[in-house]
């Protein structure tokens, strides 16, 4: 009986490591693939018929790989990939493999399989990719004169998967003779100090190699810019800036930027100062006087000028020294001792009441002073009184005084000196001690008091306990520049001797435009307009301010402060600082300009210190307006009786005033503040016109100039009517001045008729800066023949109207059919013509009698001539009898033509 054997399962290793190249399919296994079977050398059962591949952890092994039997008896096998592998997509693969024997026969019955073995296959890389630079162009900038460890770093990448072929082994500069070197990491440095003057920009090319010695597909370009030696400070500063009137706003520093030379700065502050104090009081007070500005701002009328220009009607300021001013308002100087203005009682009496507005321009110190250094803590000088006043209110007296002491402004107010308790309002202000011009507006509506300094409100501190205060005497009076002493309280009754008394609290400084308006207080809008600056610093567009940036402009727009923490934002903001001038006719001249910078750094010891920059803004001469007067004269001939009427004769009934610029100005100013349109159609404002008799002044007993005072008062204009001129002043429109001047009339007293009188008319704009042409009008008085022949009338005309009333009736009742036919020859030739005509009349009369006595026989022919002479045309000749010859011709008959 045959012994039956039990078949065995094939055996393989438990794990295999394999390698395959990217360009090959055969996997080299370690150890080699052999399947063993203990049934060998039995046919079929001891042979290996196949290998089966199963999915590994990645799930793709059975798809990408296969195993085949090379020798069935030895069990040798081969693993291969079904398709080429890509190392860059998947570098490692894992799967399992299992061996099968051939079973018991050719049909593979009872085939046995081995255990599963793990196969790890690594795909070996082939250097198929070249390096590629991350950037095609690299740029850098460095300061000159220094060696740097690294200026810029270039970088290239390789797409191969293996470290051998994917790493960049070295870089190389392929441009010859350049002062630069590159290391294996791509860092570029200079090999010698660079000079911007010799070569500002260096350009060269670099390449890269991987460790398989493949060169980069494309080389990279490197551009190095050499910067000049860094000097911290402002770059692009322009010392001189020009401004053309009518340009609106212009940037002051369009190309300015701050260079910190890589110093880390965490706070920057820049202060821009524009000095316009020398131009006039405030910021643009050179354009109109204080009174004109008040009118233009719509202030309530009725203010009383406490420091008017000296005149016969206002002589209390005649003893005060004055200083020249850019505008037409006077600047009065006070020395703190004997310079005091005593306002007359007639003026003070109109200022009663506990509601009033006090306004003034003030500058502490003398005329030529630097910023005050005397107002120190140790300086305890007495208070300096600006205004000291006691007024009568119905049956009581109120008292107030405005004073300065150091940097404090105080209002001492006593609503009733006999009953109420005084109150002191105190303000601590730098403006009262900085030796600059400032505008003060104090609105008192007791117990409410509002102070505006340069248009900005300030709240007071109240002090009720003022210590021992001498009672002011119940007497009405007002002093400017000091207050009366105690010895004046009881026994001084005559104002004329006040000048010899001792004052207390004398003010030392300058005052101008001191006015008081009783009644309701001034509206805030008016006060803001009074100090509204139409010239100064501004910021272009606040929306462009970067984050962390701050900008501040003081009320007079003379100081602008910028603050920020970012250099780029700060530089953009500085370039937005502008100069604005919305005056119609900007005052030409130089405005000094300063820029002060303060920096704060993280390292305070090495923080940069920048010096102050100084420059100037030049306002060019504006186009002068042409003020043209027309429609007048040059001759005005009227019958003499018309001038003797109650209303006289209008001198300029058809006057026309036209203002225009010499040519159109930049229309960029059309959107300027205040709506000032700088063009030929600008709405001009005159501020004064004057009518002046030429030759001798007006004789107030015989002649006068009349003006429609209703029109003048309604428009709030001021008028001075003297024998030498009529001056109408105040900022008003052209049409108003035309109405007022058309109402100017010339009137003569009865019997004061003369032969001619000449007048001159002129107007001005902007405080007389721009004047009109001068119109000269010659007035001719037309007389009837009867009045001309009356000897006493002629004598009166020769005696220049010293006794005009004797013949008042002889000029009335006579009218001429054509006044121009009997126009009188005017001027200095009158006396000569009268003498010549008188002599001619005598000669003619004597000649007629001699001819009649000698040639009576030629009477017919001579009669024709006589007839022609009786019909002569007197349109061009007026015969005037010389009264000096009346005795010689009294007994002689007149010719027929004269009768």
What is the pLDDT confidence band of residue 331, given thresholds at 50, 70 and 90?
confident
Cα distances from 358 to residues 316, 449, 556, in angstroms, run 19, 11, 21
**C-alpha to C-alpha distance for 535 and 557, rounded to whole angstroms:** 8
First to last CA, the chain: 204
> How is residue 157 written in tokens?
């990448």
The residue that leads in pLDDT, 873 or 366, is 366
Fold of 233-279+534-619: Immunoglobulin-like (2.60.40)
132-227, CATH topology level: Immunoglobulin-like (2.60.40)
- The pLDDT tens digits for 46-102 are 788 889 888 766 555 557 888 888 888 888 889 888 888 878 778 888 889 999 988
Residue 252 CB neighbour total at 10 angstroms? 24
Where in 196-325 does DSSP place strands (E)? 201-210, 220-227, 233-235, 240-243, 249-251, 257-259, 265-274, 304-305, 322-323
pLDDT per residue over 496-523, tens digit each?
344 445 678 889 999 988 988 888 777 7
Q: Is 607 exposed, middle or buried (0-12, 13-18, 19+ CB in 10 A)?
A: middle
Structure confidence at residue 729 as a pLDDT band (50, 70, 90):
confident
Residue 574 has a CB neighbour count (10 Å cut-off) of 24
Read off the tokens for 835.
């003498």
**Distance (Å, whole) CA 577 – CA 542:** 10
247-264 residue pLDDT tens = 888 999 999 988 887 778
Reply yes or no on whether the pLDDT at 39 is more than 60: yes
Q: How many Å separate Cα 219 from the centre of its chain? A: 56
Cβ proximity of 579 and 534 under 8 Å: no
Residue 859 has what pLDDT?
46
Select 290-366+382-485+502-531's CATH number: 2.40.10.10, 3.40.120.10, 3.30.70.141, 2.60.120.200: 2.60.120.200
Class of domain 11-124: mainly beta
Give the residue-averaged pLDDT of 681-710. Answer: 83
6: Cα within 13 Å, side-chain hemisphere: 1
Token pair of 497, please? 């001797």
pLDDT in tens, 580-628: 888 777 788 898 999 999 888 877 766 778 889 999 999 988 877 888 8
Position with higher pLDDT, 795 vs 432 = 432
Q: Would you list the domain boundaries of the chain? A: 11-124, 132-227, 233-279+534-619, 290-366+382-485+502-531, 625-661+684-782
Q: Do strands 65-71 and 76-81 pair parallel, antiparallel, or not at all (unpaired)? A: antiparallel
Six token digits for residue 557 = 């727009």
CA 224 – CA 662 distance, rounded (Å): 56
Q: Which residue has the tokens 């059975």?
A: 62
Average pLDDT on 157-174 reads: 86
Asked if pLDDT for residue 799 goes beyond 50, the answer is no
Q: pLDDT, tens digit, for every residue of 854-895? A: 444 444 444 443 333 333 333 333 344 444 443 333 333 433
Looking at per-residue confidence, does 665 or 763 come out higher? Answer: 763
Instruction: Answer yes or no: same fold for 132-227 and 290-366+382-485+502-531.
Output: no
Give 414's pLDDT tier (boundaries 50, 70, 90). confident
3-class SS letters over 368-433: CCCCCCCCCCCCCCCCEEEEEEEEEECCEEEEEEEEEECCEEEEEEECCCCCCCCEEEEEECHHHC
Alpha-carbon distance values, 49 to 8, 27, 34, 35, 76 (Å): 14, 20, 12, 10, 10
Could you give the CA distance from residue 45 to residue 47 in angstroms, rounded to a whole number?
6
For 193, the token pair is: 């100090």
User: What is the pTM (predicted TM-score) of this model?
Assistant: 0.53
- Check pLDDT > 50 for residue 405: yes
Q: H/E element holding 278?
A: none
Q: Using 50, 70 and 90 to split pLDDT, how confident is the model at 297?
A: confident
Topology given in CATH for the domain delimited by 625-661+684-782: Immunoglobulin-like (2.60.40)
User: What pLDDT, on a 0 to 100 scale, did the predictor assign at position 279?
Assistant: 65
């Amino acid at each position: 009986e045959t012994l039956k054997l039990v078949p065995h399962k094939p055996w393989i290793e438990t794990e295999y490591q394999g390698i395959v190249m990217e360009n090959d399919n055969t996997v080299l296994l370690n150890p080699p693939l052999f399947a063993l079977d203990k049934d060998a050398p039995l046919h079929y059962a001891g042979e290996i018929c196949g290998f089966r591949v199963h999915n590994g952890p990645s799930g793709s092994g059975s798809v990408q790989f296969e195993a085949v039997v090379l020798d069935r008896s030895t069990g040798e096998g081969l693993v291969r990939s079904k398709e080429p592998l890509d190392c860059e997509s998947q570098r490692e693969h894992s799967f399992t493999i299992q061996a099968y024997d051939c079973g018991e026969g050719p049909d593979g019955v009872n085939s046995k399989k081995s255990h599963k073995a793990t196969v790890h296959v690594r795909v070996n890389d082939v250097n198929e990719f070249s390096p590629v630079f991350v950037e095609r162009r690299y740029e850098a900038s460095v300061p000159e004169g220094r060696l740097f460890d690294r200026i810029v770093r270039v970088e290239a990448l390789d797409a191969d998967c293996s470290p051998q072929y994917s790493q960049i082994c070295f870089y190389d500069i392929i441009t010859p003779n350049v002062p630069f070197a590159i290391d294996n990491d791509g860092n570029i440095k200079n090999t010698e100090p660079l000079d911007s003057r010799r070569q500002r920009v260096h350009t060269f090319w670099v390449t890269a190699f991987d460790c398989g010695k493949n060169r980069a597909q494309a080389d990279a370009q490197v551009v190095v810019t050499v910067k000049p030696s860094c000097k911290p400070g402002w770059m692009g500063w322009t010392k001189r800036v020009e401004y053309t009137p009518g340009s609106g706003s212009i940037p002051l520093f369009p190309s300015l930027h701050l260079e910190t030379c890589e110093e880390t700065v965490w706070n920057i502050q820049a202060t821009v100062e524009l000095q316009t104090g020398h131009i006039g009081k405030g910021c643009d007070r050179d354009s109109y006087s204080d009174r004109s500005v008040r009118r233009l701002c719509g202030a309530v009328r009725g203010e009383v000028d406490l420091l008017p220009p000296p005149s016969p009607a206002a002589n209390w300021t005649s003893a005060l020294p004055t200083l020249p001013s850019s505008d037409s308002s006077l600047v009065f100087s006070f020395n703190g001792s004997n310079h005091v203005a005593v306002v007359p009682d007639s003026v003070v009496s109109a200022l009663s009441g506990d509601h009033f507005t006090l306004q003034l321009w003030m500058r502490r110190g003398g005329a030529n002073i630097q910023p005050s250094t005397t107002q120190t803590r140790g300086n305890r000088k007495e208070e300096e009184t600006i205004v000291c006043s006691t007024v009568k209110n119905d049956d009581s007296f109120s008292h107030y005084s405005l004073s300065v002491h150091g940097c404090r402004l105080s209002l001492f107010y006593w609503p009733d000196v006999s009953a109420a308790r005084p109150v002191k309002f105190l303000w601590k202000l730098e403006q009262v001690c900085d030796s600059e011009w400032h505008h003060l507006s104090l609105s008192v509506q007791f117990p409410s008091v509002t102070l505006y300094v340069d248009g900005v409100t300030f709240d007071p501190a109240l002090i009720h306990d003022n210590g021992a205060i001498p009672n002011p005497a119940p007497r009405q009076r007002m002093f400017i520049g000091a207050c009366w002493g105690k010895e004046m309280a009881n026994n001084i009754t005559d104002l004329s001797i006040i000048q010899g008394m001792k004052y207390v609290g004398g003010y030392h400084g300058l005052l101008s435009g001191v006015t008081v308006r009783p009644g309701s207080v001034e509206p805030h809008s008016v006060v803001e307009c009074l100090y509204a600056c139409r010239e100064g610093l501004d910021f272009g567009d606040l929306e462009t301010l970067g984050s962390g940036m701050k900008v501040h402009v003081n009320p007079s727009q003379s100081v602008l402060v910028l603050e920020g923490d970012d250099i780029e934002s700060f530089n953009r903001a500085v370039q937005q600082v502008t100069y604005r001038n919305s005056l119609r006719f900007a005052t030409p001249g130089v405005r000094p300009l300063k820029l002060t910078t303060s920096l704060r750094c993280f390292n305070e010891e090495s923080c940069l210190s920048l010096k102050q920059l100084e420059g100037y803004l030049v306002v060019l001469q504006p186009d002068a307006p042409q003020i043209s007067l027309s429609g007048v004269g040059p001759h005005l001939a009227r019958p003499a009786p018309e001038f003797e009427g109650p209303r006289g004769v209008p001198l300029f009934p058809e006057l026309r005033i036209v203002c225009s610029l010499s040519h159109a100005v930049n229309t960029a100013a059309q959107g300027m503040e205040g709506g000032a349109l700088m063009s030929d159609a600008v709405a001009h404002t005159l501020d004064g016109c004057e009518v002046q008799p030429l030759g001798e002044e007006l004789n107030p007993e015989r002649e006068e100039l009349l003006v429609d005072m209703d029109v003048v008062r309604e428009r709030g204009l001021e008028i001075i009517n003297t024998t030498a001129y009529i001056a109408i002043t105040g900022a008003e429109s052209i049409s108003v001045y035309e109405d007022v001047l058309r109402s100017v009339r010339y009137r003569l007293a009865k019997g004061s008729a003369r032969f001619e009188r000449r007048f001159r008319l002129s107007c001005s704009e902007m405080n007389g800066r721009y004047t009109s042409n001068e119109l000269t009008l010659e007035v001719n008085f037309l007389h009837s023949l009867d009045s001309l022949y009356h000897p006493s009338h002629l004598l009166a005309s020769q005696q220049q109207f010293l006794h005009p009333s004797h013949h008042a009736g002889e000029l009335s009742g006579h009218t001429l059919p054509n006044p121009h036919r009997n126009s009188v020859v005017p001027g200095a030739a009158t006396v000569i013509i009268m003498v010549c005509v008188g002599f001619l009349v005598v000669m003619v009369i004597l000649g007629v009698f001699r001819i009649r006595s000698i040639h009576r026989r030629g009477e017919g022919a001579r009669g024709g001539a006589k007839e022609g002479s009786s019909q002569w045309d007197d349109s061009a000749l007026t015969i005037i009898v010389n009264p000096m010859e009346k005795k010689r011709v009294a007994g002689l008959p007149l010719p027929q033509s004269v009768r």
